[in-house]
Structure 1
């Protein structure tokens, strides 16, 4: 299981604390592998972008109009977190549905 997120993100910390045998990938330092990012974009669409973030608010309208994948490559902190890959399946966020899908009580 791989958790893609930010080391200073409270939601990612909560997920890491609850999950066993998980590898953490800091998206600012390591990024998200292109194939995982493409699958996540295809599966989650607009939900993959965190449009409530300070990074998003700091972008110009021209920047915001760029394709999602390009934005996420250039600004990894724009990704909603955490993105978790488990046995080839992707989940986004850390709500009750995600926790149930991952077997966390």
Structure 2
């Protein structure tokens, strides 16, 4: 993986975030971890993330929080109300969100790992 520092936004108890942190550490990638519930400035970050990747990518539709939403809320989460819903329910944010300084990557899949290797 390339040498530039990254910021990983996630939850301390999220297995996927732990996997990502471990892999980044093993690759000697300088990584700052920011807890999206207690430390992140979601008022500033969520709109920027939505602009960068869109609600289809950023909203975690596999979470228990998603399943507890009404159909109207689910519809809004993928539209104009996405920012408000994600700020009010940080667990709806697909994790991890990785800011490389040049791009925003969401999730920990082969695409994210390849992008970090550039």
Which band: TM-score by shorter chain?
0.7 to 0.9
Q: Indicate whether 1:51 and 2:61 are aligned.
A: yes
Q: Give unpaired runs (5+ residues) of structure 1.
A: none
Matching residue of 1:4: 9
Instruction: After the TM superposition, list the runs of 4 or more consecutive aligned residues in structure 1 that deviate by more than 6 angstroms.
Output: none
Distance 1:96 1:32 in 2: 28
Match 1:26 to one of 32, 35, 56:
35
- Report how far residue 32 of structure 1 moved: 4.3
Find out whether 1:76 has 2:90 as its counterpart: yes
Task: Please list the CA deviations of residues 10-69 of structure 1 after superposition, one character each: whole Å capped at 9, or x if unmatched.
Answer: 110010001121011111112344343222112222221011110111122343344110
Unaligned runs of 5+ in 2: 1-5
| 2:110 match | 96
- Normalised to the residue count of structure 1, the TM-score between the two structures is 0.87
Structure 1 partner of 2:3? none
Instruction: State the alpha-carbon separation in 2 of the partners of residues 103 and 26 from structure 1.
Output: 24
Q: Which segment is superposed worse, 87-96 or 69-78? A: 87-96
CA contact (8 A) 1:11 1:81 kept: yes
When Rg is computed on C-alpha atoms for both structures, the one with the higher figure is 2
Contact 1:31/1:73 (<8 A) preserved: no
